[in-house]
Structures are given as C-alpha cells and as structure tokens.
Structure 1
C-alpha cells in the first residue's frame, strides 16, 4: 500500500514537466509557422516592389535648352502605338493660322517635306470638330499626343506636330479659350497671310469657279502639280464686283488684324506668302522657330496665277479705277518679282 502511494505521489511530479515540454514544442511549432508566413509576405512585397520598378518608365532627361523654352518642349505618349527609341525625342506643338487662298496649302507641303515635321491639314474644316470648345480641345489633344493619323504623320520621330487652321473655322469665335489652350499646352502660332489681298480675292473667285464647273476632266482641284493643269485653270479670268471691292478688302484686313491681336500673347511668328516666294531663307526662320534641323524644303505644287494682275481680271479697268487713290492702291502695282525662281 505504501508502494502504491509512493508511485501515485510521483505522477504529479512528472506531469508538469511533460506538459511544459508539450507546450514548448507547440510554441516552437507555432513560432516556426508564423515566421514562415512572415517571410513569405516579406518576399512577396520585395518581388512586387521589384516589378513596380520594372513597369515605371525612366523619365526622359531634360534637354539642354534655355529655361524660357521649357514650356514648349513635350514628350507625348501616344495611346495607339509606342514611340520606341524616339520616346525621349522632344516634340514641339504648332498651329498654322491663316485664311483660304493665302498660300497655306503650299506652305504646309513645304513643312511636311521635312523629315521631322507633321502638319495634319485643315482638321477643323469638319464642322463637328469645331462645334464647341470641348470638341476643339479633344481634337487638339489627339493631334498633339501624336494619336492623329494622316498622310503627314511621321509618328515615332516627329519633332514638331501641328495643323492648318483657317480663321473662319471656329478660331475667331473661340479665340479666348483657344489662346488659353495654346499657352497652357505650349502651342506656337505660325501666322501666314498674303500682303496683296487683291491677288487673294482673284484666287478665291477662280477657285470657286473651278469648284462649280470643274474644267480639269470634271474634277475640282484647289492645288495642282503640273504646269498643264495650272495653265488650264489660269484661263479663267474672274469679274470682280467693284462696288463691294473696298468693303471686302477692308473686312479681310480687319480680320487679319484681329487675329494678330487675339493671339499675340502666344509664342508666334508672322509670315507673308510673298516673302516666302521671293526669299526662301524665310523657311529657315520657320525651322529655327520650330527648333528642327535645317533642311532644303520642296513642294510639288505648281503656281496657277502668274504674271501681271491686269492679265488675270476680266474687268481690270473697273478694278483699277476703284482702288486708285485708296489705301489699297498699292495692290494694283505690287506684283511678284523673280517669277522664274518660283518652284511651286
């Protein structure tokens, strides 16, 4: 009985030790399990951070330019394609602000002859695109983001991108908002006008006649690429309404002055068609303005109305009489010189 009591009394002495061992082993197992979970989480975070670093694109280095040029340097990221090796090539934005029959079509073909310039034509000749400022801004955003595709698109390695914008295509009606957009987005304005507004009027009337009667095999062509086509179109001599002539010339001059006033706060350059025709170094000024390498620019367009104005108008005597003694008399005498040097 005593032995039984002794053996019974030893059990409680060993039992706490066993329990302690069990608790210790359990704690160790839990500790190892918890540590393994923590290590996995840390490893996952490290991997995720590494992947994020891989996805984030390296910022393009700042070009060596003057501080005042910084707002005009951009790095577009098109949504429809990758600029690839040209992703860090800076791009400048521009808009050619002009009027119909002012040589803007010819001028734009010269710009597009440059390897790094894309001018996308009269984008806002389509009325829905200029219906309000929202649609105008959306269209401009696509153009300047290099997401607008046209025959002029250079895509990846474009260094200057823009469009041709006529004053009567929503530009004057929304001039305040558009000028603000230009300044906010760093868009440069290239003004292109004609000095001789009488020649512009002759071109407008002749183009209107061509649109209605289509003497070139039943097709209308605002611009031609052969001397024969130019000769056919030049045969038409418009009759100018001498009664409305001065009022029309005044209106065009006033519209031009307003455009220059509206957009004078934007970075701009003012060009005249006649100056470019007579002096091709003006094209160097444009390339310098856009900060692109200088190139010899050419156009396939052929000039239609050449020679003296007196040979281009049916009622020249009436026109001459109407303008003599007025502020527009100089238009009667200012003709092109160096006609033989023209290649458009």
Structure 2
C-alpha cells in the first residue's frame, strides 16, 4: 500500500538531508604525518638556538663597550691636559708623567719631553750636561748607567729608564715637579751598543729623543782620556780624583800631565773611535735625534739654542761652572809630539794636529 507523504513531511526530509550534508562537510581532517611534526619541531629548535646566540653576542658587545668607555675615563685627565696647539708629529713626544713618589700638583698638566744624551767619555758631555741643567725647566740626571748593576741586563736597563722618565729618579739636578724636559747621560760603552735593539724600541714606544754629542778632534779626546785615567791613580788634587774642575788653578794642575801616545796604534784607535760613533748613529737613525759636536758648542753660540728648540724649551742663556783643563796648543800636551805629528801627516787625521781648537777662555 503506497504511503503518501504530506508536504510537511517532505520538507522535514529535505532539512534532514541538508543537515547530513553539512555534517559531512565539517568532519575532522586526517591526522598530520609524524615526519612533518618532526620537521616543525627541529625548525623551532634551530630558531631558538639562533636567537640565544644573538642575545649572547649583544651582551658581550655591551661589555666591551663598557670596558672601552672605562678606558677612556681613566685617560681623561691626560686628555684634559692635551695642548690643542701641538703639531701632530709632536704628540708622541709630549708626556704627562704620574710619579709614584710624589704628586705633581699644579704641574700635573705641564708637558714633559724625554731625552737621553748619547756620548763617549771625554767628549765634553759633563760640561754639556751642566749647561743644560742651568735651564730652569730641564733635569738631566747624570751618568746613571756608570753603575754596572743598573746595566747588568735589558730588564734592569729598562727599569731604571722608567724610573727616570716617571720622574721618580732623584739627583742634584732634579727639578721633577715642574720639569719640561727630563733625561740623563749615557756613554756608548755602558750597555747601550750591546742592547741597542731593545733600547731603540723603548725610545720609540716612550717617545724619547736622542741627543748625540761627539768630539770632532778625536786626538784631543784621546789626550783627555789618558790624562783622566792617569789622575785616577795619581790623584793630583790633594789626593782626590776629579774628572771635572771648577777653578783655573785645579785645571792648571791637571794639565801638567802630558801622556805619551803609542804612534803605531794611533791611527787604528782613531778609526775605531770613528766607527763606534758612526755605528751608534746608524743604530738610532730611526729615533728622533739631533747630532751636536763639542767644538760647535764652544764656537757657535746658536748651537745651544738649537738644542733647546729640539727639546721644545724656551731659549735661555745657559751657563756652567766647569773650567776647561787643556787650554794650550795640542803640541804642548803630548810627550812624543814629533812621533804623533809624523804619523798623522798626510792622513785624513792631519787636521787634528792644528793648534787651534777653541778659545782658551772656553769652559769644559
């Protein structure tokens, strides 16, 4: 028997059908494969590690910046002392020492230049140093490496130089607090030549200028060396030895000794002295330096001004109390003058025989 549905029933059936269709559309999707999940997880881990590394790098950079800023603050005092009118090349040679033994106080911003007088015995270096020390702004602390223990090795040499340039070296010439130039005298045979490589590096690192002081007439230097060596034993001045004197009477007594020169070894010795001076200048040619000759200091009034300008000091009239010992012609200062004269005539050293070297009133 056929069943007849009313329109109301048909409508309900249609709604049921549509509901079922909707239910099919919104059913849950299939599960994600395991491999895909692992890939996503791995990618997430890599991103996390990368972010951590970036953060750590930023932290380290921040710390370095802090250290750099701290360094700048530590040196701020020196920067505040900087002279804006300095030429660029001068900057490495201008210093503001901070000594450990005293405070510079109001002189803390006074710029200081470092120097060393490099010379050979009996070349007028003692007289030259007293002239420099008569300048109110300069301290030259003498022949500090004449003491063997101070030059026993490179470390000892550098340690003692540090003490001088830090203004912690005290001598009768020290004007430490407000010095504008500080240094000392150094003979070539006092560890200078043997350790020249390390010393050149030190001079460059600390901005030390070299003043070479030599004597052109090496024959007169030889006479002075022999006479001084003789007096060490003879002690002609009331039983005392003096390398330098301050009265004409003392000079006259020391000048009475006339050494006898070995004519056969004379030229080789003169050549050796020349070679030593030339080698020293070769070793230190890359340092800032000036070459001064004893005879020029005696006869040329502008030479001392050139030295003061080299040290960037205001020019002053420089004086010394030292008195020249040998004032007579060279022919009167040697026992075997005829042998010496015969040996040097016709050689490149013949000019050393000249009687005139300097004014007899000059100081040594």
TM-score, normalised relative to structure 2: 0.78
Is the 1:196–1:334 Cα contact (8 Å) retained in structure 2?
no
Distance 1:147 1:304 in 2: 34
Partner in structure 1 of residue 97 of structure 2: 76
Aligned partner (choices 301, 306, 309) of residue 280 of structure 1: 301
The superposition leaves residues 296-333 of structure 1 with CA deviations (integer Å, 9 ceiling, x where unpaired) of 00000000001210011110000001111122111112
Equivalents in 1 of 2:281, 2:302: separation in Å?
23
Aligned match of 1:141: 162
Q: In the alignment, which residue of structure 2 is the partner of 1:194?
A: 215
Aligned partners of 1:113 and 1:298 also within 8 Å: yes
Q: Give the CA deviation at 1:76.
A: 0.1
Does the 8 Å CA contact 2:329/2:355 hold for their aligned counterparts? no
Q: Deviations over 1:131-188 (max 9, x none)?
A: 1111111110110000000001001100000000000000000011101110111000
- The one of 89, 102, 108 equivalent to 1:87 is 108
Pairing 1:159-238 to 2, within 5 Å after superposition: 159-238=180-259
**1:106 maps onto 2:116 in alignment:** no
- Residue aligned with 2:81, SS: coil
1:57 & 1:108 partners in 2: Cα distance?
30
Conserved? CA contact 2:212–2:291, under 8 Å: yes
Q: Does 2:300 align with 1:268? A: no
SS in 1 for 2:117: strand
Contact 2:114 2:209 (C-alpha < 8 Å) held by counterparts: yes
Please state whether the residue corresponding to 1:297 is helix, strand or coil.
Answer: coil
Alpha-carbon distance in structure 1 between the residues aligned to 2:226 and 2:81 = 51
- TM-score if structure 1 supplies the norm length? 0.82
Contact kept? 2:127, 2:363, Cα under 8 Å: no
Cα distance, 1:104–1:343 mapped onto 2, change above 3 Å: closer
Distance 1:208 1:88, change over 3 A: same
The 3-state SS of whatever aligns with 2:80 is: coil
Deviations 1:30-84 (A, max 9, x none): xxxxxxxxxxxxxxxxxxxxxx99x989832334110000000000000000001
Structure 2: gaps (5+ residues): 1-72
8 A contact 1:99–1:167 mirrored in 2: yes
Q: Which residue of 2 aligns with 1:127?
A: 148
